[in-house]
Amino acid sequence: MAWFKRSKENISSENGKKDIPDGLWTKCENCGEIIHKKQLEENFYTCAKCNYHFRIGSKEYFEILLDDGTFKETEKNIRSVDPLQFVDTKPYSQRIEESMKKTGLTEAVRTGTGKINGIPIVIACMDFSFIGGSMGSVVGEKVARAVDLARKKKHPLIIISSSGGARMMEAALSLMQMAKTSAKLAQLAEARIPYISVLTDPTTGGVTASFAMLGDVHIAEPGALIGFAGPRVIRQTIGKDLPKGFQRSEFLLEKGFIDMVVHRKELKETITKLLRHFAS
Amino acid sequence: MAKVILDFERPIVELEQKIADMRKYADNLDIADEIALLEEKVDQLRNSVYSNLTRWQRVQLARHPERPYTLDYIQMMTENFVELHGDRFFGDDKAIVGGFATFENQTVMFIGHQKGRDTKSNIYRNFGMPHPEGYRKALRLMRLAEKFSKPIITFLDTPGAYPGIGAEERGQAEAIARNLFEMSRLQVPIIVVIIGEGASGGALGIGVGDRILMMENTWYSVIAPESCSSILWRSWDYKEQAAEALKLTAKDLLELGVIDRIIPEPIGGAHRDPLQAAALVKKVLLEELKALKKISLTRLVQERIEKFSKMGAWKNG
Ligand SMILES: [Zn+2]
């Protein structure tokens, strides 16, 4: 068991327990299987044994979905400001700085153009690692501009969501991003441009209650938490434990709020089929 | 019902009571000078208290249990109100009310959150916290208004959309998202008035419009100060700091470009003089409605979308 002991040091378990690990080996959150990094990558960051979907970011999704070398990032330079001079236990401006350093990202969403099996599309993908994927002015504005770009180019739009909700530190301005993105999507719908919403773990709060729930087609990854209120708040409100599987993808499929639950390795093919139907 | 008096209202209310008591005996005694002196004092006190309200005090006024609610305003401002019920899919949500009413010679669709006044009516109204069927009823009524070219006025006053099992099962998020989407392109003028609490998506769910008006002592934000305190400070004790940080008052939101106009309230708040409060709301609504009716529908919708598109703050780094 020597190799096992040694490798165990490489297992990352702390901070952001579901993020992809830096170590060479990682343990499946769900079944406990020890998986090698390379194997994890080849398996689209899912567990081969139990299908558990690890949380990944925009970089990985762009690699998984887009044809090699086709991604062109847009609106890279929009940055958050601190419009309210918000300070809780630390200043918001400091949180942004720290998050940028930690993640190497500039905000909780990246947008761009690319091709999926040769079909040109406009894409936006959220990063949960950046302040919990929260939607502030920049997320709202970048999504809005991606919608505008899809409308201008007449290319289908794909948005991959992963968010804890609105960004409290931008208060009402963050709330208004829900209205902004929804209004933009209404314009896209009138232009009859397809929009596919992909919901990943977790998609809650203001993002679910705006653009994530306004797709022509809703695709969810298996086992993703999707809802308006978070489970903790609901449990506090009703004073009872929540039913098993509550607010998970399969539950939403059953209740009629998503079209399908799709394994990450089949995501690209599923989207391709849909895009071909829309275009035919 | 026992009168509810907030801490910072107490000295004023006590002094007012004292003056009222003295008046009763004023015929017998020569105390007119004394009364005049006290009245001057109470005026000064009112001015100093109400011109220096903290954000948390505004939140308390916005939640004052004697504050007029949606049905009160409809009753005080309109005639021939016909309440309409149900979303035609699941049920009738009592936390959102709506219907046609005559508003100065024109038919308008009024829709608003509705709180209760006592325990029983609060349970009936679910404390003004809607379920998805509430948002779907609102949308149904808005489409009805659009079909017959009637303007829409919505009143926002909710502690939030209800976080419960049924609400999630029936798609709270989808219901709110759908309203934002549809309200942005409805072909009739929409005026939104925050009359009490504007808590997050639960408020915004009937809050997209051509004019966003806010009464002087109300709040509007992405989260209530208490919840913000609990999440960011990990304690319920920082609600006052959270209220300050969230910049959730009418004045703040006018500066941030989220609202268009502040509707003044009677001194001390709408609950001190509901009739006057309703008259002030009515006056502003009539002005805004008149202005909106002059704009072509194409331009109206275009400007509505542009208005929300501009909201937010960012820089090109
Ligand atoms: Zn596993």
ipTM: 0.96
Judge whether residue A208 has pLDDT over 70.
Answer: yes
pTM: 0.94
**Per-residue pLDDT band at A10 (split at 50, 70, 90):** very low
Looking at chain A, the whole-number percentage of residues with pLDDT higher than 70 is 92
> Residue B115 in contact with residue B127, Cβ under 8 Å?
yes
Domain membership flag for residue B301: yes
Of B246, B288, B189, residue with least CA distance to B59: B246
**Per-residue pLDDT band at A3 (split at 50, 70, 90):** very low
Domain membership flag for residue B197: yes
Instruction: Find the domain containing B158 and state its range.
Output: 57-309
**Per-residue pLDDT band at B1 (split at 50, 70, 90):** very low
Domain membership flag for residue B2: no
Shared-domain flag, residues B15 and B153? no
Of A81, A89, A243, the CB nearest to B232: A89
How far is residue B279's CA from residue B141's CA, in Å, rounded to a whole number? Answer: 25
**Per-residue pLDDT band at A17 (split at 50, 70, 90):** very low
Q: Is A172 on the interface with B (CB under 8 A)?
A: yes
Q: Which two tokens stand for residue A51?
A: 């299908």
SS3 assignment, position A254: helix
- Arithmetic mean of pLDDT, B117-125: 96
> Residue B284 in contact with residue B263, Cβ under 8 Å?
yes
**Contact between chains at B246 and A255 (C-beta distance less than 8 A):** no
Only one residue has tokens 């201008």, namely A152
Q: Is B171 on the interface with A (CB under 8 A)?
A: yes
**pLDDT per residue over B53-100, tens digit each?**
999 999 999 999 999 999 999 999 999 999 999 999 999 999 999 999
> Residue A134 in contact with residue A108, Cβ under 8 Å?
yes
**pLDDT per residue over B150-162, tens digit each?**
999 999 999 999 9
Shared-domain flag, residues B30 and B128? no
CA of A229 to the centre of ligand 1 (A): 27
**Contact between chains at A79 and B174 (C-beta distance less than 8 A):** no
**pLDDT per residue over B250-294, tens digit each?**
999 999 999 999 999 999 999 999 999 999 999 999 999 999 999
Question: Would you tell me which residues 259-298 of chain B have a C-beta closer than 8 angstroms to some C-beta of chain A?
Answer: none
Looking at chain A, the whole-number percentage of residues with pLDDT higher than 90 is 90
Looking at chain B, the whole-number percentage of residues with pLDDT higher than 70 is 98
> Residue B185 in contact with residue B142, Cβ under 8 Å?
no
Per-residue DSSP letters for A75-87? -TTEEE--TT--B
Shared-domain flag, residues B257 and B301? yes
Of A205, A109, A163, residue with least CA distance to B177: A205
Shared-domain flag, residues B14 and B149? no
Shared-domain flag, residues B61 and B196? yes
* pLDDT score at A23: 77
Q: How do B96-103 and B106-113 pair as beta strands?
A: antiparallel
Judge whether residue A5 has pLDDT over 90.
Answer: no
How far is residue A74's CA from residue B275's CA, in Å, rounded to a whole number? Answer: 54
Only one residue has tokens 């761009």, namely A112
The conformational region for residue B157 under phi > 0 = left, psi -120 to 50 = alpha, else beta, is beta
How far is residue B53's CA from residue B33's CA, in Å, rounded to a whole number? Answer: 31
**Contact between chains at B228 and A168 (C-beta distance less than 8 A):** yes
Choice among A122-136, A182-196, A228-242, B22-36 with the minimum mean pLDDT: B22-36
Shared-domain flag, residues B66 and B28? no
Return the domain boundaries, chain A: 1-54, 56-279
Shared-domain flag, residues B70 and B47? no
* pLDDT score at B2: 54
Q: Which CATH number fits domain A56-279: 3.90.226.10, 3.40.50.2300, 3.90.1150.10, 3.30.9.90?
A: 3.90.226.10
Shared-domain flag, residues B228 and B283? yes
Q: Which two tokens stand for residue A213?
A: 């729930």
Q: What single-letter amino acid sits at B229? A: S
Q: Is A79 on the interface with B (CB under 8 A)?
A: yes
How far is residue A154's CA from residue A149's CA, in Å, rounded to a whole number? Answer: 8
The residue out of B52, B68, B84 marking a domain boundary is: B52
* pLDDT score at B221: 98
Handedness of CA B277, B280, B283, B287 (dihedral sign): negative
The conformational region for residue A140 under phi > 0 = left, psi -120 to 50 = alpha, else beta, is alpha
Shared-domain flag, residues B100 and B38? no
* pLDDT score at A12: 43
* pLDDT score at B25: 78
**Contact between chains at B246 and A171 (C-beta distance less than 8 A):** yes
- Arithmetic mean of pLDDT, B29-56: 90
Judge whether residue B30 has pLDDT over 60.
Answer: yes
Q: For residue A173, which residues of chain B lie inside 8 Å, CB to CB?
A: 256, 258, 311-313
β-partners of residue A27 are A34
**pLDDT per residue over A78-114, tens digit each?**
999 999 999 999 999 999 999 999 999 999 999 999 9
Of A176, A189, A214, the CB nearest to B258: A176
**Phi, psi torsion values for B279, nearest 5 degrees:** -65, -40
Q: Is B207 on the interface with A (CB under 8 A)?
A: yes
* pLDDT score at B237: 95
Q: Which two tokens stand for residue B210?
A: 């051509």
* pLDDT score at B28: 65
Largest CA distance in chain B: 76
Looking at the 3D structure of chain B, how many domains does it have? Answer: 2
* pLDDT score at A11: 42
- Arithmetic mean of pLDDT, B120-137: 98
Shared-domain flag, residues B105 and B130? yes
Instruction: Work out the number of other CB atoms within 10 angstroms of the CB of residue B237.
Output: 12
CA dihedral B299, B303, B306, B307 (to 10 degrees): -170
Shared-domain flag, residues B236 and B293? yes
Question: CA gyration radius for chain A?
Answer: 19
Mean pLDDT of the residues in chain A: 93
How far is residue A75's CA from residue A61's CA, in Å, rounded to a whole number? Answer: 18
CATH assignment at residue B105: 3.90.226.10
Query: Which of B90, B142, B168, B304 should be substituted to probe chain A, the one whose Cβ sees the most A Cβ atoms within 10 Å?
Result: B168
Q: In three state form, how does the secondary structure of chain B look?
A: CCCCCCHHHHHHHHHHHHHHHHHHHCCCCCCHHHHHHHHHHHHHHHHHHHCCCCHHHHHHHHCCCCCCCHHHHHHHHCEEEEECCCCCCCCCCCCEEEEEEEECCEEEEEEEECCCCCHHHHHHCHHHCCCHHHHHHHHHHHHHHHHCCCCEEEEEEECCCCCCHHHHHCCHHHHHHHHHHHHCCCCCCEEEEEEEEEEHHHHHCCCCCCEEEEECCCEEECCCHHHHHHHHHCCHHHHHHHHHHHCCEHHHHHHCCCCCEEECCCCCCHHHCHHHHHHHHHHHHHHHHHHHHCCCHHHHHHHHHHHHHCCCCEEEC
Only one residue has tokens 């599987």, namely A245
Of A81, A178, A227, the CB nearest to B180: A178
* pLDDT score at B33: 85
CB pairs under 8 A between A and B: 203
> Residue A108 in contact with residue A130, Cβ under 8 Å?
yes
Q: Is B232 on the interface with A (CB under 8 A)?
A: yes
**Per-residue pLDDT band at A22 (split at 50, 70, 90):** low
> Residue A28 in contact with residue A50, Cβ under 8 Å?
yes
Q: Is B161 on the interface with A (CB under 8 A)?
A: yes
Q: For residue B162, which residues of chain A lie inside 8 Å, CB to CB?
A: 237
Q: Is A24 on the interface with B (CB under 8 A)?
A: no
**Per-residue pLDDT band at B317 (split at 50, 70, 90):** confident
**Contact between chains at A213 and B311 (C-beta distance less than 8 A):** no
* pLDDT score at A4: 38
Of A168, A169, A182, the CB nearest to B177: A182
* Closest chain A C-alpha to B9 CA, distance in angstroms: 28
Shared-domain flag, residues B144 and B290? yes
**pLDDT per residue over B9-21, tens digit each?**
999 999 999 999 8
Q: Which two tokens stand for residue B196?
A: 């009490």
CA of A46 to the centre of ligand 1 (A): 8
* pLDDT score at A21: 60
